[in-house]
């Protein structure tokens, strides 16, 4: 048994003992408060998945909680037209079914909202926050307008399940809390957890590695809403009360504070934050209501301004390292660096034109990209080199002309979003390194190697199999000894090296490298050149944008000169060097 597993079992056992002991330490009232606190803690964990881990600012998380509670209320009460509760209660089966139904309805509602708020063409990243605020504000007046269903101003009440005593409910909610906590920890340490952290750090980069960012965010949001709905349904069954404020913005911000105080993206922290704050709150609220609310406001400000990582964060991070860990390492996988084979002409561009608004950048590009050849694109600044790559990798850019792909399924790339094109093996290295702030070097490569395959929500890949060429790049650029360093703290040269390594790890069919050697030393550049040649020998096509003519001369099979949105010359390096058109493009035409 590893030390980590032993710690996991020890800490887990300690947690269970503490939770089991609470009812014997306090009075019945305290036990009820703890039971309620567990339902809040479940909601806090779900919000941490959505907000802390995936970076989606859900300002209306209370709505999902309210939906869960209302579902249980509706299933177990009979209400008069004016909103008076006439009758309440039900069998254990009714309550279990109602809790399950509340969870499902909240998840579906969350999925619909997320689907609307994350359109595939991309919207304001904060739009979901706006929708959350709007929902939590708009539901309150609506709630009071439908007394025949919702109980109106007073809400529904008195429908707590009577078949369990205080201690029984305590253990049910405690058990649900532990289960959700463990489930969430498994999720965030899995490969899927890696993907959502990557999306939080850099959505665009994750998309160009083949990940369907929108679908992932919708999935996380729906799961988060479902868990919050479950928490609300439990709360409903325990407390037997649902009214408009349970849906409201005020309660939503309280949830955000539980997460912020406990420490975003730590799972354990938000759970502790929710339990501690709701217990302290209900104690103080009885004796000093005004002061407590004032203190709560001050806590909001203090935590966000002065301790943005959260009060419990260092402790939660330590705990997570002890029990979650499992450092990821790279291992070489034998065989060629690409799975591609088949026809030679991969991409054919004919008379491709593209404009950013009124700025015409590409004015009729004719270009063939062939398997096993390295095509260098050179040209002065503003010639359209990076735009050419942008147009190739994002099919939603509206272009004129023809871009035909020969990548197996589907020849036309019109309207294909970037992640689909990336999954076909068109992998791109950005001109300015675009990494994931909190992911380690090894994790970057794992994500790249996945190339958009839906990652497992349970399993944590510890040994990352990558083509041997990736390890060569890592060795040459000094990354190999920095596999545990986070993307946000790497020096520029290492970032460049990692970008190249990621592009290779994705097993590309066509590799698009935008100035890969800027910022590297001469010896590093020489090694990169050698690695590019071995990739070519494996049958990969490479398009390289480069300003350094010595490097171009060393590696290129063919050179295309781009000037003013057109290919003015193509040929071997020697042919290009003596071309008059090229001299004119760089130095201006002689009068």
- The C-alpha atoms of residue 40 and residue 178 are separated, in whole angstroms, by 13
Query: Hey, is 516 helix, strand or coil?
Result: coil
- The C-alpha atoms of residue 337 and residue 341 are separated, in whole angstroms, by 12
Please tell me whether residue 299 binds another protein under the rule CB under 8 A. yes
Beta bridge mates, 570:
560
Please tell me whether residue 297 binds another protein under the rule CB under 8 A. yes
Q: Which of 127, 315, 549, 573 binds another protein (CB under 8 A)?
A: 127
DSSP H or E run through 287: helix 268-287
Which region among 16-24, 125-133, 391-399, 411-419 touches another protein (by CB under 8 A)? Answer: 125-133
Please tell me whether residue 137 binds another protein under the rule CB under 8 A. yes
Query: Nearest Cα to 196, choosing from 183, 175, 173, 212?
Result: 212
Q: Which of 15, 133, 518, 526 binds another protein (CB under 8 A)?
A: 133
Which region among 112-120, 346-354, 520-528, 567-575 touches another protein (by CB under 8 A)? Answer: 112-120
Which region among 184-192, 217-225, 295-303, 525-533 touches another protein (by CB under 8 A)? Answer: 295-303
Please tell me whether residue 358 binds another protein under the rule CB under 8 A. no
What the block records as the tokens of 111 is 């999925």
- The C-alpha atoms of residue 509 and residue 424 are separated, in whole angstroms, by 8
Judged by beta carbon, residue 200 or residue 320, the one nearer another protein is 200
In the chain, % helix, strand, coil (3-state, to 5) comes to 60, 15, 30
Number of H helices, E strands in the chain: 23, 15
Q: What are φ and ψ of residue 478, in 5° steps?
A: 80, 10
| Burial of residue 521 (number of CB atoms within 10 Å: 0-12, 13-18, 19+) | exposed
Judged by beta carbon, residue 304 or residue 568, the one nearer another protein is 304
Please tell me whether residue 282 binds another protein under the rule CB under 8 A. no
CB of 7 to another protein, least distance (A): 33
Please tell me whether residue 257 binds another protein under the rule CB under 8 A. yes
Judged by beta carbon, residue 164 or residue 304, the one nearer another protein is 304
| Number of residues forming the site for another protein (CB under 8 A) | 39
- 563 Cβ contact list (under 8 Å, min separation 6): 379, 380, 383, 581, 585
Q: Which of 308, 326, 408, 478 binds another protein (CB under 8 A)?
A: 308
| Burial of residue 24 (number of CB atoms within 10 Å: 0-12, 13-18, 19+) | exposed
Max intra-chain CA distance, the chain = 96
Q: Which of 301, 343, 409, 589 binds another protein (CB under 8 A)?
A: 301
What the block records as the tokens of 91 is 């069998």
CB of 419 to another protein, least distance (A): 21
Judged by beta carbon, residue 256 or residue 498, the one nearer another protein is 256
Please tell me whether residue 59 binds another protein under the rule CB under 8 A. yes
- Which stretches of the chain bind another protein, using CB under 8 A? 51, 57, 59, 116-117, 119, 123-124, 126-127, 129-131, 133-134, 137-138, 141-142, 144-145, 249, 253, 256-257, 260, 290, 293-294, 296-301, 304-306, 308
């Amino acid at each position: 048994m590893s030390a980590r597993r032993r710690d996991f079992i020890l800490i887990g056992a300690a947690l269970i003992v503490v939770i089991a002991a609470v009812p014997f330490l306090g009075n019945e009232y305290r036990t009820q408060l703890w039971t309620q606190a567990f339902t809040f803690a479940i909601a806090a964990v779900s919000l941490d998945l959505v907000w802390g881990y995936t970076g989606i600012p859900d300002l209306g998380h209370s709505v999902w909680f309210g939906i869960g509670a209302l579902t249980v209320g509706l299933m177990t009460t009979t209400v008069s037209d004016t909103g008076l509760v006439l009758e309440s209660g039900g069998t254990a089966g009714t309550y279990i079914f109602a809790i399950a139904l509340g969870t499902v309805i909240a998840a579906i509602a969350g999925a619909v909202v997320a689907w609307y708020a994350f359109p595939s063409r991309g919207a304001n990243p904060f739009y979901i926050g706006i929708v959350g605020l709007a929902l939590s504000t708009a539901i309150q007046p609506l709630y009071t307008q439908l007394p025949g269903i919702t109980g109106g101003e007073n809400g529904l009440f008195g429908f707590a399940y009577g078949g369990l005593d205080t201690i029984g409910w305590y253990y049910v909610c405690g058990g649900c809390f532990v289960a959700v906590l463990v489930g969430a920890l498994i999720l965030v340490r899995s490969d899927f957890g890696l993907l959502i952290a990557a999306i939080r750090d850099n959505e665009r980069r994750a998309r160009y590695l083949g990940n369907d960012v929108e679908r992932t965010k919708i999935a996380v949001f729906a799961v988060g809403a479902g868990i919050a709905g479950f928490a609300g349904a439990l709360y409903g069954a325990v407390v037997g009360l649902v009214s408009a404020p349970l849906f409201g913005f005020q309660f939503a911000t309280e949830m955000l504070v539980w997460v912020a105080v406990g420490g975003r993206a730590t799972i354990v922290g938000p759970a502790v934050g929710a339990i501690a704050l709701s217990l302290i709150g209900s104690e103080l609220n009885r004796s000093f209501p005004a002061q407590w609310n004032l203190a709560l406001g001050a806590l909001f400000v203090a935590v966000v301004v002065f301790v943005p990582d959260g009060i419990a964060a260092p402790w939660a991070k330590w705990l997570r390292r002890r029990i979650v860990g499992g450092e990821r390492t790279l291992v070489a996988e034998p065989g060629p660096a690409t799975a591609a084979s088949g026809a030679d002409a991969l991409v054919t561009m004919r008379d491709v034109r593209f404009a950013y608004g009124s700025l015409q950048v590409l004015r009729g590009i004719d270009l063939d990209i062939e398997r096993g050849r390295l095509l260098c694109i050179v040209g002065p600044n503003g010639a359209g080199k990076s735009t050419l790559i942008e147009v190739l990798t994002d099919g939603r850019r509206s272009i004129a002309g023809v871009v035909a792909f020969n990548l197996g399924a589907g020849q036309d790339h019109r309207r294909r979003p970037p992640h689909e094109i990336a999954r076909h093996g068109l992998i791109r290295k950005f001109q300015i390194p675009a990494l994931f702030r909190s992911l380690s070097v090894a994790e970057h490569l794992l994500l790249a190697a996945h190339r958009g395959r839906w990652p497992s929500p349970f399993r944590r890949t510890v040994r990352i199999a990558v083509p041997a060429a990736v390890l060569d790049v890592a060795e040459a650029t000094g990354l190999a000894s920095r596999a545990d360093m986070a993307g946000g703290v790497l020096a520029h040269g290492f970032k460049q090296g990692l970008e190249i390594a990621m592009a290779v790890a994705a097993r590309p069919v066509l590799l698009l490298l935008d100035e890969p050697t800027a910022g590297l030393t001469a010896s590093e550049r020489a090694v990169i050149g050698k690695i590019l040649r071995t990739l070519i020998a494996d049958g990969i096509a490479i398009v390289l944008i480069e300003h350094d003519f010595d490097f171009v001369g060393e590696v290129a099979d063919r050179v295309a000169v781009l000037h003013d949105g057109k290919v003015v010359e193509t040929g071997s390096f020697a042919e290009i060097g003596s071309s008059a058109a090229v001299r004119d493009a760089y130095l201006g035409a002689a009068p």
